Chains A and B, each alone.
Chain A
Amino acid sequence: MIGLISYLVFFLSGAMILAIAVLGLNLQWGNTGIFNGGVAAFFGAGAYALIILGGPDRPGELGGFSLSYPLAILGGIIVSGVLALVVGIVTARLRHDYLAIATFGVAIALESLVRNAEYLFGGAKGVRGFQRPLEAAIADPFTYSLMFLGLVIVCLLGVYIGLERLVRSPFGRLLRAIREDETAARALGKSPANVRLQSFVLGAMIMGLAGGLYATFYAFVSPQDIRPILTFQIWAMLIVGGAGNNKGAIIGTLIVWGGWVASGWALAKFAPADWQLYTGTIQYILIGLVIVLTLLARPRGLFPEELTVSTATGPDGPVKPPERGTVSTGGQQS
Chain B
Amino acid sequence: MNRTGFFALPALAVGTLIMAGSPAAAQDCTTKIGAVLPTSVDWGRPIAETAQYAVDLFNEAGGVKGCKVEMILRDTQVDPKVGVDAAKALVDLEKVPLLLGAVSSGVSMPILTSVTVPSNVMQMSCCSSSTAFTGVAEEGKTKGLWFRTFATTRNQAAVAAMLIRDKGYKNVAILYKNDDWGQDIGKLVAADLEKIGVKVTANVAINDGQPSFRAEVTEVLKTKPEALYLAIYPAEGAAVVREWVSLGGTQKMVVANSLRSDEFRDAVGLKYLGDVVGHDSAPPRTDAATSFVDLYKAKFNSEPNGPGLPNIFDAVMISLLAMEAAPELKGDQIAAQVAKVTDPAGMAVFPNVDGLKAAKAALAEGKSLSYTGGTGAVKFDKNGDVSAPAVGWTFSEGGTSEQTYFTLSDVDGFIASISK
A and B touch in the complex (CB under 8 A): yes
Q: Which residues of A contact B (CB under 8 A)?
A: 3-4, 6-7, 10-11, 14, 115-116, 118, 123-126, 128-130, 132, 141, 144-145, 217-220, 222-225, 227, 229-230, 260-261, 264-266, 268-273, 276-281, 283-284
| Given A125-B105, A125-B184, A283 and B75 contact (CB-CB distance below 8 Å) | yes
Indicate if the CB atoms of B85 and A11 lie closer than 8 Å: yes
Checking A260, A270, A273 against B11 with a beta-carbon cut-off of 8 angstroms, the contacting residue is: A270
Closest-by-CB residue of A relative to B81 is: A14
Indicate if the CB atoms of B7 and A125 lie closer than 8 Å: no
CB neighbours of A280 from chain B (8 A): 38-41, 44-45, 75, 77
A-B contact pairs, 9 of them (CB 8 A): A125-B106, A125-B132, A126-B105, A145-B118, A218-B110, A265-B89, A277-B49, A278-B39, A280-B77
Which chain B residues (230-259) contact chain A, with CB distance < 8 Å?
none
CA distance A101 to B208 in the complex (A): 20
Indicate if the CB atoms of B106 and A223 lie closer than 8 Å: yes
Closest-by-CB residue of B relative to A5 is: B92
Indicate if the CB atoms of A6 and B92 lie closer than 8 Å: yes
Q: Which 6 A-B pairs have the closest CB atoms?
A: A280-B75, A280-B40, A224-B106, A218-B110, A141-B118, A125-B180
| Given A144-B118, A222-B106, A277 and B39 contact (CB-CB distance below 8 Å) | yes
CB neighbours of B178 from chain A (8 A): 115-116, 124
Indicate if the CB atoms of B82 and A264 lie closer than 8 Å: yes
Indicate if the CB atoms of A116 and B205 lie closer than 8 Å: yes
Checking B73, B119, B131 against A268 with a beta-carbon cut-off of 8 angstroms, the contacting residue is: B73
Closest-by-CB residue of A relative to B77 is: A280
Indicate if the CB atoms of B205 and A4 lie closer than 8 Å: no
CB neighbours of A124 from chain B (8 A): 106, 178-180, 182-183
Checking B38, B92, B110 against A220 with a beta-carbon cut-off of 8 angstroms, the contacting residue is: B110
CA distance A218 to B95 in the complex (A): 21
CB neighbours of A129 from chain B (8 A): 109-110, 112-113, 132, 136, 141
| Given A224-B78, A279-B73, A283-B40, A7 and B92 contact (CB-CB distance below 8 Å) | yes
Flag whether B399 is at the interface (Cβ < 8 A).
Answer: no
Which chain B residues (1-41) contact chain A, with CB distance < 8 Å?
7, 10-11, 13-14, 17, 38-41
Checking A3, A116, A279 against B95 with a beta-carbon cut-off of 8 angstroms, the contacting residue is: A3
CA distance A272 to B139 in the complex (A): 42
CB neighbours of B49 from chain A (8 A): 277
B67-79: CB near A (< 8 Å → 1, else 0) gives 0000011110111
Closest-by-CB residue of B relative to A3 is: B92
CA distance A266 to B4 in the complex (A): 12
Indicate if the CB atoms of A126 and B180 lie closer than 8 Å: yes
Closest-by-CB residue of A relative to B141 is: A130
Quote the shortest CB–CB distance from A125 to chain B (angstroms): 4
CA distance A7 to B179 in the complex (A): 31
Indicate if the CB atoms of B13 and A272 lie closer than 8 Å: yes
Checking A6, A264, A272, A273 against B74 with a beta-carbon cut-off of 8 angstroms, the contacting residue is: A264
Indicate if the CB atoms of A277 and B132 lie closer than 8 Å: no
Indicate if the CB atoms of A220 and B109 lie closer than 8 Å: yes
Most buried by A among B84, B105, B107, B180: B180
Flag whether B114 is at the interface (Cβ < 8 A).
Answer: yes
Indicate if the CB atoms of A271 and B10 lie closer than 8 Å: yes
Quote the shortest CB–CB distance from B33 to chain A (angstroms): 13
CB neighbours of B74 from chain A (8 A): 264-265, 268
CB neighbours of A126 from chain B (8 A): 105-106, 109, 130, 132, 180
Most buried by B among A6, A128, A223, A268: A268
Which chain B residues (79-137) contact chain A, with CB distance < 8 Å?
79-82, 84-86, 88-89, 92-93, 95, 104-107, 109-110, 112-114, 117-119, 130-132, 136
Quote the shortest CB–CB distance from A313 to chain B (angstroms): 34
| Given A3-B92, A130-B141, A280-B39, A264 and B75 contact (CB-CB distance below 8 Å) | yes
| Given A115-B178, A272-B17, A225 and B40 contact (CB-CB distance below 8 Å) | no
| Given A14-B85, A126-B106, A222-B106, A284 and B40 contact (CB-CB distance below 8 Å) | yes
Checking A7, A144, A225 against B80 with a beta-carbon cut-off of 8 angstroms, the contacting residue is: A225
| Given A10-B92, A129-B136, A277-B49, A123 and B80 contact (CB-CB distance below 8 Å) | no
Indicate if the CB atoms of B113 and A219 lie closer than 8 Å: yes
Flag whether B383 is at the interface (Cβ < 8 A).
Answer: no
Quote the shortest CB–CB distance from A100 to chain B (angstroms): 20
CB neighbours of A144 from chain B (8 A): 118
Indicate if the CB atoms of A225 and B14 lie closer than 8 Å: no
CB neighbours of A220 from chain B (8 A): 109-110, 113
Flag whether B48 is at the interface (Cβ < 8 A).
Answer: yes
CB neighbours of A141 from chain B (8 A): 118-119
CA distance A269 to B110 in the complex (A): 24
Quote the shortest CB–CB distance from A135 to chain B (angstroms): 8
CA distance A261 to B113 in the complex (A): 20
Indicate if the CB atoms of B114 and A264 lie closer than 8 Å: no
Flag whether B52 is at the interface (Cβ < 8 A).
Answer: yes
CA distance A227 to B107 in the complex (A): 13
Quote the shortest CB–CB distance from B334 to chain A (angstroms): 18
Indicate if the CB atoms of B14 and A222 lie closer than 8 Å: no
Indicate if the CB atoms of B113 and A218 lie closer than 8 Å: yes
| Given A222-B80, A279-B73, A279-B75, A7 and B38 contact (CB-CB distance below 8 Å) | no
CB neighbours of A3 from chain B (8 A): 92-93, 95
CA distance A260 to B74 in the complex (A): 12
Quote the shortest CB–CB distance from A15 to chain B (angstroms): 9
Quote the shortest CB–CB distance from B89 to chain A (angstroms): 5
Checking B44, B72, B131 against A125 with a beta-carbon cut-off of 8 angstroms, the contacting residue is: B131
Quote the shortest CB–CB distance from B343 to chain A (angstroms): 29
CA distance A158 to B107 in the complex (A): 30
Given A10-B92, A224-B79, A225-B80, 6 other A-B residues pairs in contact with their CB atoms under 8 A: A14-B85, A124-B180, A126-B105, A270-B7, A279-B73, A284-B77
Closest-by-CB residue of B relative to A216 is: B114
Indicate if the CB atoms of B183 and A125 lie closer than 8 Å: yes
Quote the shortest CB–CB distance from A99 to chain B (angstroms): 24
Closest-by-CB residue of A relative to B104 is: A224
CB neighbours of B39 from chain A (8 A): 276-281
CA distance A266 to B73 in the complex (A): 11
Checking A7, A115, A123, A260 against B82 with a beta-carbon cut-off of 8 angstroms, the contacting residue is: A260
CA distance A326 to B85 in the complex (A): 35
Indicate if the CB atoms of B113 and A130 lie closer than 8 Å: yes
Which chain B residues (160-198) contact chain A, with CB distance < 8 Å?
178-180, 182-184
CB neighbours of B79 from chain A (8 A): 224, 227, 229
CA distance A130 to B109 in the complex (A): 9
CB neighbours of B182 from chain A (8 A): 124
CB neighbours of B109 from chain A (8 A): 126, 129, 218, 220, 222
Checking B44, B85, B141, B205 against A261 with a beta-carbon cut-off of 8 angstroms, the contacting residue is: B85
